[in-house]
Amino acid sequence: MLLNRRALVKASLAGGISVGLTGCSLLPGKASGQPDSYVGAVGLPDGSFGVSAFDRSGSILWQTPVETRCHSGCNRPGMGETVFFERRPGWSFYVFDATAGTRKHRVGAKAGEHFVGHGIFSTDGRWLYVTASRYEKGEGIIAVYDAEQDYRRTDTFDLNGIGPHELTLHPDGETLVIGLGGILTHPDYDRMKLNLETMDPALLLMDRHSGNIVGRFKPPHHQQSARHVSVSNSGRVYVAYQYQGPLYETPPLLARLEKGTLREYRFDEDTQIALANYIASVVAHPENDLVAAASPVGGTAIVFRGSTGELVNRVSIADCAGIQALAGGDFLVSSGRGKLVQLGAATPARELADLPVHWDHHLV
């Protein structure tokens, strides 16, 4: 996107240069043993890009410039490293010291491949699994890197499909859960969607050792691009769609995997409309049954119960996208307008901070 310079410069002048915590002294901690800082890809007021981390007191821990816009990232378990991926078509990913923000590695995509913005580590912190595309043939792959050998590429798993996006690790520690969006793109044609009529999206389960696909689950409509995924601590798998059909159609945008099929959630009509056929991220809370999803296009974030589909909260947050589960059962939602909002089932949404940055899609 083109940054709106005028708005940004104004925002940054108004917001100052540090995190402005609004009405509280500490941000809540993350749920379930995650590091106590928050990291996200950001767009900056001067039109450049970075990766930014802040702590619970609202102080920026570090903000490291990157060459192009990044999308999402992941923490390396036990090793104090955070990895961020350039967004599609991504030609590199970056490894940062999680404490100081210094850039330890920049790993380029192999010739003929590009990354798509997401990756996940094995629980022992050794293997990094990255979604990628062999763009000439349009083949989706998982690229495997050995973090213990300075992120050397060690393996490639074929997905037999187009357009992988987010992946995560099942709590069994062995199964990769992968959103296969189904959309064909090619770097020569910017971000143009080349196959909207013949898309074939799916939720994939893959054995992370062998690369064997052990489950492939297709949404009912071929234009329900299955791009984002999350798994609860109990192992329930969630998938979020970005519907590629017209705006006047409002199909379900979220589903859970149950008994070998995708069981979709359909909310009331107003909520369906408010989500604008686009979910940027979905997160299952590790401490409870709640699931949060955010739509920047609709400027709407929701929280619902995973087991029943009951909608328990819906708020308007302009350009919201990133979600992080908080200790105590709530969620933190970030927005492209620099907001951080706490959202849960029991209490009204609460704005915690307003920063002079654009948070990109995912908060790590």
Residues that bind another protein (CB under 8 A): 1-7, 43, 47, 71, 87-88, 116-117, 165, 188-189, 191-194, 196-197, 227, 246-248, 273, 276, 278, 280, 296-297, 299, 318-321, 335-337, 358-361
Smallest gap, in angstroms, from Cβ of residue 359 to another protein? 8
Q: C-alpha angle 236/307/205, rounded to 5°?
A: 20
Of the pair 122, 168, the CB lying nearest another protein is at 168
User: What is the closest distance, in whole angstroms, from the C-beta atom of residue 328 to another protein in the complex?
Assistant: 26
Min separation Cβ 170 and another protein, Å: 23
The residue ranges of DSSP E strands in 160-267, in sequence order, are 164-169, 175-180, 202-207, 213-217, 224-231, 237-243, 254-258, 261-265
Nearer to another protein, 101 or 117 (CB): 117
- For residue 5, the SS3 value is helix
CA distances to 245, 260, 282 from 230, rounded to whole Å, are 24, 17, 6
Task: State which residue, 161 or 296, has the beta carbon closest to another protein.
Answer: 296
Token pair recorded at residue 146: 């050995």
Closest approach, Cβ 189 to another protein, in A, equals 7
Give how far Cα 73 sits from Cα of 133, 295, 301, 360, Å: 17, 19, 21, 11
Nearer to another protein, 191 or 263 (CB): 191
Closest contact distance (angstroms) between CB of 19 and another protein is 17
User: Shortest gap between Cβ of 296 and another protein (angstroms)?
Assistant: 4
Nearer to another protein, 81 or 360 (CB): 360
What distance in Å separates the CA atoms of residue 71 and residue 42, rounded to the nearest whole number?
8
Q: Are 149 and 156 a contacting pair, CB within 8 Å?
A: no
Q: Is 197 exposed, middle or buried (0-12, 13-18, 19+ CB in 10 A)?
A: exposed
State the greatest distance between any 2 C-alpha atoms of the chain, in Å, as a whole number: 53
Nearer to another protein, 206 or 280 (CB): 280
Residues in CB range of 173: below 8 A, 6 or more apart = 122, 123
